[in-house]
Amino acid sequence: MKQDTLITHSGRTSPYFAQSVNPPVYRCSTVTFPSMAAMAEAQADHLNAFYYGRIGTPTTHAFEEAVAAVEGGERCIAVPSGLAAIAGTLSALLKSGDHVLVSDSVYGPTRTFCQDVLAKNGVQVDYFHPLLAENIEVLFKPNTKVVFCETPGSLTFEMQDIPAIAKVAHAKGAIVVADCTWASPIFYRPFEMGVDVSVLAATKYIVGHSDAMLGTITTSEELYPVIKSSVVKFGYSVGSEEAYLGLRGLRSIVPRMKQHQESALKVARWLQTRDEVARVLHPGLPEDPGHELFKRDFLGSSGLFGVILEPYPEEALIPMIDGLKLFSLGFSWGGYESLITYTTPGIVRNTVLWNADGPTLRLHIGLEDPDDLIADLEAGFERLNAFGG
């Protein structure tokens, strides 16, 4: 089946759902069994069976089935957040004495987890420049078990050559884990690129409405029991309401992603014409250094991109941002609303420094009319220039 059909029909076949179109919300903790034999059978297969609410319900199973189908993986594990997906996966695949290579452009909480949890528990963590491609081979050690990528990075939007990295990693016996949240499963097919485990902050484009915390880990049949058992031991549990909201959001993700993409590109191209802007960080633009990799590997882009301004003082951003009417100041992204935030990607780099003379902003373009968003930003630039004048 093609993608639109999979999105519409996946996760709807359980006998628990009777004839309902949408899988209902199953609120449950305790599951009862008709006999001791049935209980023992469920316990033996507890990673897959309807055994206990913390491990899964018919609603969470439906959500997992749908995400696995849409991402092109074999199995999916729902977890409480994107960070839980990252932490659960890396904890399952790494132990004390192992070595992990992590892209230097990763999401801040990923870096914090690697430094404050993995490293403190005996895992060797090294960061690689996101543009290394096959040259990453020089960083491998005999104990390198995992390479963690994020493409593009959600602050600097640097593109990574995932197929080249995966080829080297697999030749060395390492597993490739990738945070694929930016483009969503609609515009990026991680398993076709050589990724072994795809993690998503489903909080973002899958939920799509900024009203639920949710993460997913999609992988192969071989790695599923390894990661699932670790997730269960950590006590990660997804409420059925959140799984329901994720499943409902997934049904409408295609038209939403198309609008996010179209509107973001329009705003980004307008920003390129502004004297206040030094550079727009968006791999979907032909002028972006990562555009050729983007064209090769991606089916489309999202609503998230960055902007480097000319050298304005940071205090000049206050009237610009605080006075915006349609852009809200907030973390996260992927909902229907537009967001803006000030970022400082240079302060966390471990490899080649990230140099920008002016302040950096990150924008998420929501589902508003892009012309209205442009007018809001234009008024913001007027305030920026008035402060500077």
The predicted model gives 76-94 an average pLDDT of 97
Residues 46 and 59 in one domain: yes
Catalytic option among 27, 54, 95, 325:
54
Show the domain range for 72.
3-251
Catalytic option among 26, 51, 107, 224:
107
Q: What is the pLDDT of residue 326?
A: 98
Catalytic option among 189, 204, 279, 383:
204
Residues 151 and 61 in one domain: yes
Residues 384 and 273 in one domain: yes
Higher-confidence residue of 46 and 178: namely 178
Range of lowest pLDDT (184-198, 349-363, 364-378): 349-363
Residues 247 and 261 in one domain: no
pTM for this model (two decimals): 0.94
Residues 48 and 74 in one domain: yes
Q: Final residue of a domain: which of 197, 228, 251?
A: 251
Residues 247 and 260 in one domain: no
CATH number of the domain enclosing 8:
3.40.640.10
Distances (CA, A) of 130 to 136, 149, 158, 348, 354: 9, 8, 7, 14, 12
Q: Final residue of a domain: which of 251, 270, 301?
A: 251
| Residue 157, phi-psi category: left (phi > 0), alpha (psi -120 to 50), beta (remainder) | left
> Is residue 126 annotated as a catalytic residue, yes or no?
no
Q: Final residue of a domain: which of 251, 279, 305?
A: 251
> Is residue 104 annotated as a catalytic residue, yes or no?
no
Residues 40 and 94 in one domain: yes
pLDDT in tens, 205-226: 999 999 999 999 999 999 999 9
Helix, strand, coil: what percent of the chain each, to 5? 40, 15, 40
Residues 122 and 246 in one domain: yes
Partners of 218 in beta bridges: 76, 198
The answer to whether residue 158 scores a pLDDT higher than 60 is yes
> Is residue 312 annotated as a catalytic residue, yes or no?
no
Residues 207 and 245 in one domain: yes
Partners of 342 in beta bridges: 361
Partners of 385 in beta bridges: none
Residues 172 and 313 in one domain: no
> What rounded mean pLDDT belongs to the chain?
94
Give residue 6's pLDDT band: very low, low, confident or very high (50, 70, 90): confident
Give residue 388's pLDDT band: very low, low, confident or very high (50, 70, 90): low
Residues 48 and 126 in one domain: yes
The answer to whether residue 389 scores a pLDDT higher than 80 is no
Domain count, the chain: 2
Residues 16 and 115 in one domain: yes
pLDDT in tens, 260-301: 999 999 999 999 999 999 999 999 999 999 999 999 999 999
Q: Could you tell me which of 336, 109, 328, 80 has the C-alpha nearest to residue 212?
A: 80
Catalytic option among 98, 104, 161, 179:
179
Q: Could you tell me which of 52, 72, 56, 55 has the C-alpha nearest to residue 23?
A: 56
> Is residue 107 annotated as a catalytic residue, yes or no?
yes
CB-based burial of residue 389 (10 Å sphere; 0-12 exposed, 13-18 middle, 19+ buried)? exposed
The answer to whether residue 379 scores a pLDDT higher than 80 is yes
